[in-house]
Amino acid sequence: MNKVIAYAKKTMLAIKNPYGSVLRVFPNAINAFEKSENVLFLGVKDHSSIPHKLVHLLESNNMVLHTIDSCSLGGRAIDYRLFHPVHGGYMTGSSSGTALNVFLGINDIGIGTDGGGSVLAPALSLNLFGFISPLIEREYMEKFRKVSTDEISFVPSIGFISKDLQLILDAISIVLQMDLECQNGIDVFEVNESLNYNDRKACIDYLQGKLSRHDVVIEYNKNIDVFGKGDSVYGHYDLRTQEEQKKSNKGLLRVANMVGATALAIPSNELSSGYVLFCKSDLASIRKMLAIAPKYCQKEDAMIKKYFGNIDMYFDEGYFNRKV
């Protein structure tokens, strides 16, 4: 009963929609508890590239569609319509609403799409886990090939966002139909050099080179979009806007999808920061990457959990609860 009440509150919060991150709510998601106690709420980015059959597959595994989530216009890397609930700046895009709805506790897990960091970056900006892989619905996604603002052709990847690494692992197991056992040695390379992240083509060459020689490449991204705007539309104007784009601190995650890599974002306890793990997109490499992931996990921030994990605060009766 307590879980049903908690999930009913999730729906109430989705309907209230305090951050404008929800486009549509499915209140009947609560009915899934009639068949199982293991229900989880799922949010889906409002984008036509996410196939219904993928959502149905997850629903058959108790991840029930709960919301359709807002996203940035035209895949922008900054969403100027949504605000970051901690530092108050604009949200990182483009799977911005999906990340927000997980952060706020509306959903347990969300599905987004990533072309140039659009799952990994919003996940880390809110200190959440994120995962992308071109293996997810590969043939279907080929229909959505596009060209980036810097004239790079790419096919978007589908990915997941959650507060819980285990939910990410569960979703991977379901959609890629793979076990996660890994017993082989793992060659890890940690990026510790300064790169020109505004030069996306150079970053592509760099990451491709490292992935050709190592099982897993790891990079730490600090304060994503806190002190700058990591958006190539904004940054293309002049030296000043380019410098501000650099201050966004979006690293190789901007090219993970473009090199066909599979990647996992793991939050740290610094604001809008965390590790991104990259590997080649085959099942053996993914197993290796996921095997070392727990080593980089940290405990969820206690203050953020206490504040934003309290759905009741959105329904404080305030003035009408006064004693006279």
Amino acid 146: pLDDT: 86
H or E element, residue 6: helix 2-16
What pLDDT, in 10s, does the model give residues 26-72? 999 999 999 999 999 999 999 999 999 999 999 999 999 999 999 99
| Nearest partner of 44 among 60, 12, 22, 29, judged by Cα | 22
Domains delineated in the chain: 2-314 (3.90.1300.10)
Taking 70 as the pLDDT cut, the residues of the chain under it are 1, 183, 318-324
Encoded tokens for 90: 């604009």
Helix (H) or strand (E) holding 274: strand 274-279
State the pLDDT at residue 321: 66
HSE of 197, CA atoms in CB hemisphere, 13 A: 27
pLDDT of residue 147: 83
pLDDT of residue 134: 98
Residues 6+ apart with CB under 8 A from 239: none
Average pLDDT, the chain: 94
Size of the chain, expressed as the number of residues it contains: 324
Confidence (pLDDT) at 235? 87
Model pLDDT for residues 63-118, shown as the tens digit of each residue: 999 999 999 999 999 999 999 999 999 999 999 999 999 999 999 999 999 999 99
Output the pTM of the full model: 0.96
Q: Would you state the pLDDT for residue 243? A: 87
- β pairing state of 188-190 and 153-154: unpaired
How far apart are the C-alpha atoms of 70 and 45, rounded to whole Å? Answer: 6
